[in-house]
Amino acid sequence: FYYSALQAWRVAKAPENDRFQYTHFAHKLNSFDTAPKKLLESDSRLRPDRSALESGDLSQAGFEKSRLEERQRAEKRSRESKCHQFTPKWFDPTSEVTPTPWGDLEIYCYNGKYTEHRAAIDSSDGVKETDVSSKEFNPWQYEISSPE
């Protein structure tokens, strides 16, 4: 038998002058230009640490990342003190567990609710585009971790 090699995929060249060596695809995913018309408050494009990193302010990026992590720890402490279980919005737990070097990992399955949420927003005429300059990143569920 004779087999011929076929190129199925090729990595595109990285954009010029890109500090982070992201691909064009990554830039497109992270861009406000390709964002949906109404962002969730938890959309990572709104993260202050990311914004500082992209503008080249590494000191501010480190500070913001530390602040974010501390707020996440505070939310977890608050949840645990109230005996509340974290419940993801867009995923449901399955009965599957997979072992990892760091311990067993519960497996979650996408529940389709984000697709429904996005379709409702996108089909609504009353929804204006997000003004990203006035929108604050806010993934918090509990009062203690609300933005300062």
pLDDT digit string, tens, across residues 36-50:
878 888 888 889 998
- Which two three-digit tokens encode residue 35? 């964002």
Torsion of CA 44, 49, 52, 55, to 10 degrees: -40
* Single pTM value for the model: 0.68
Tell which residue, 58, 60, 29, has the closest CA to residue 45: 29
**Each residue of 11-38: pLDDT tens digit?**
777 788 887 778 888 888 888 888 887 8
Interacting residues of 146 by C-beta distance below 8 A, sequence separation 6+ = 138, 140
pLDDT digits (tens, 9 = 90+) for 47-81: 999 888 888 899 999 999 999 999 989 988 988 99
